[in-house]
Chain A
Amino acid sequence: MSIAIDKDKCIGCGKCHTVCPGSLIKIGEDKKAFIKYPKDCWGCTSCIKECPVYAIKFYLGADIGGMGTFAHTEKDGYILKWIFEHPNGENSEIEINQKESNKY
């Protein structure tokens, strides 16, 4: 489990750097965020939820069943939308209303 940061999209706001519970994300000399210790990511997805330009995506390592799908979230009010970009170019989505409790 780790994250990938799209340098072209990154605006260098530093929110991901601030929130990371492992202090793993740094801001480079080019003012762009990068993950300095990719193997140390817990997969909590905190950074993904912070990114205002959806530049961060998370994926499963091949050692735990990753097949190349990348996921990120987009927030609209109380709706947290998870977007999955599949290796075949298709996308799928799951919408979560944060005002609603888990069913289980």
Chain B
Amino acid sequence: MKTERLKTDILIIGGGTAGCYAALTISENSDAKVLICEKAHIKRSGCLAAGVNALNAYIVEGKTPQDYVDYAKKDADNIVREDLLLTMSERLNAVTKRLEQLGLVILKDKNGRYVTRGNRNLKINGENIKPILANAVKKLPNIDVLNRVNITDFFVKNNRINGAFGFGIEDETFYIIEANAVIVATGGAAGLYKPNNPGFSRHKMWYPPFNTGAGYAMGIKAGAEMTTFEMRFIALRCKDTIAPTGTLAQGVGAKQINSLGEVYEEKYGITTSQRVYGTVNENQQGRGPCYLQTEGITAEQDNSLKKAYLNMAPSQTLKWIESGKNPSEQNVEIEGTEPYIVGGHTASGYWVDTKRATTVKGLFAAGDVAGGCPQKYVTGALAEGEIAALSAINFVNENNSVPIDEALIEEHIEEAERFLTDNNSHFTTEQLEEAMQTVMDSYAGGIKTNYRFNEKQLDIADEKIVDILKLSENLYAEDFQELMYIYELRERLIVCRSVIAHLKARKETRWHSFAENLDYPDKDDKNFLKYVNSRYQDGKIRIILRDLVEGGTVYEHSY
């Protein structure tokens, strides 16, 4: 097998929203050499491939960053890091301005001020947002991009990162990358649970199916502390196309109604999890299906909606066309997705300090992979990319790089080579993926059980996921793309185990649907106004309950 050794100052893993912006920030603020490793191609990789409907995190006139903190804190019923939310919120407007300078179209009024949508949103044309970011990165001289290189493991010794291991899926080469600092920006995890349509359209999901939790899994394996994996994200979406509903709700004021035509959202509350829970309940009580009420909107609104969806989720426009009816003629059916782990919407991810430093020295996290700071959306991911980048610059200025342990390199190469040579598995990667999704769906609160679970079920889930992990050791890959699929499956299995452990540890129900434990159906403020954190040590997930970081205080690591 071909092996290539590279050396850089700062390695960025994942060339999506946060990763690209981190690279831009480093280039503008230092001479450090940067290498981005991206498993697809940065032009359209990550969450923004099809575009995005709006900038959902912006401090509008008359509001302050603290208002944004308060909103996110309320939505997550207190389980957030206010220090992280505030440091993010303070940067939202500056990164928005920068995006506009790079070429993003943002709607303005005749006085040149941004037109806002509600309290926190800006209207944009986000179809080309990712090519805009990628082009900006391409122009910079001190940034190298390795496309189609899939990173699978960190090199960590004595809790200090010194690089990463991965492989090129096209050049069929193992990469050993030595780096003084690493920014992990691999996004969250999709594909843990059985999706809404598990057949031909299994990948028509909300979150990118190619975000398989690599960053979480690498961190877990390296012993990094993780937080709040039990706060799963379930999106309320247009049925089948899994297209955003916010454009309908906020854009044309469509209300959530049941099949009797009753508006039900007030009955359950309007936080993100309550909107999902309400829809699940209405269906369970025989009042489904549920809809967003678009009937009666104007022809002009029809046209604008069809265009807006083409700019972010073209399948929804195609669905209207296929049905022969415009949104004004039929309400849009809605459903909850399968659960995801995604730190850009909920608080799951690396336990970081305000510098976005993880508990592994030299490793920084930004975007969906970083925990404690929900409701980031695009601009929040940019803000965190910026913070992580500035912290990584400081780090490389103050620390010398450490060579990678040769024994570790051998270990990783041997593991990958084994998948490529030993062909004695009874199962394919696809079969084990299906097995994993079935287990999570049935026993860890998937769509099948209306997102609900009990402890007994969680125990069964963990036992079965461990079995599948064992089976996955014998998988065989014909080529490097299949090798990537094996690693992606194993990443997700590792994340599944952490999700199960976290769901079990929060012995209360703070968020319906997101973490609805039938053994503990009520909220328990006395014992669980806490973060549920974990560390993987000696093959076991150790749970750590941490006190909340209150407003006005900050948490910093002491290594």
Contact = CB atoms under 8 A, between A and B. Distances in A.
Interface stretch (B193-201, B450-458, B494-502, B513-521): B193-201
24 contacts: A1-B315, A18-B43, A19-B41, A19-B44, A21-B41, A21-B44, A21-B46, A23-B484, A40-B209, A42-B50, A42-B205, A43-B203, A46-B49, A58-B314, A64-B201, A64-B315, A82-B317, A96-B127, A96-B311, A98-B125, A102-B53, A103-B304, A104-B123, A104-B247
Interface in A1-32: 1-2, 18-23
Contacts of A64: 197, 201, 204, 240-241, 315, 319
B128 A98 contact: yes
Interface residues of A, number: 43
Given A23-B481, A39-B200, A102-B123, A65 B44 contact: no
A101 B107 contact: yes
A40 B209 CA distance: 8
> Lowest 8 CB-CB distances: which A-B pairs, in order?
A104-B251, A101-B107, A44-B49, A64-B240, A46-B44, A103-B304, A44-B50, A102-B308
A72 B486 CA distance: 33
A100 interface: yes
Interface residues of B, number: 61
B196 to A, nearest CB: 9
A20 B317 CA distance: 21
A41 B314 CA distance: 13
B85 interface: no
B310 A82 contact: yes
Contacts of B124: 101-102
Contacts of B115: 101
A40 B40 CA distance: 14
Nearest to A47: B44
A55 interface: no
Contacts of B205: 42
Nearest to B202: A39
Contacts of B203: 1, 22, 39-43
Nearest to A104: B251
Contact of B125 (A20, A44, A100): A100
Interface string B115-148: 1010000011111100000000000000000011
A45 B106 CA distance: 22
Contact of A71 (B54, B251, B318): B318
B321 to A, nearest CB: 6
Contacts of A53: none
B310 A19 contact: no
Interface in A56-80: 58-67, 69, 71, 80
B169 interface: yes
A21 B368 CA distance: 17
B188 to A, nearest CB: 15
Chain A contact surface mostly: loop
Nearest to A68: B322
B200 A46 contact: no
Contacts of B308: 102-104
A104 B319 CA distance: 19
Interface string B191-224: 0000001011111110011100000000000000
Nearest to A98: B125
B204 A42 contact: yes
B423 interface: no
B460 interface: no
Contacts of B304: 102-104
A82 B314 contact: yes
A23 B39 contact: yes
A60 B250 CA distance: 26
A92 B199 CA distance: 29
Given A23-B40, A64-B240, A82-B310, A1 B204 contact: yes
A100 B200 CA distance: 35
Contacts of A20: 40-41, 44
B53 to A, nearest CB: 6
A54 interface: no
A21 B44 CA distance: 6
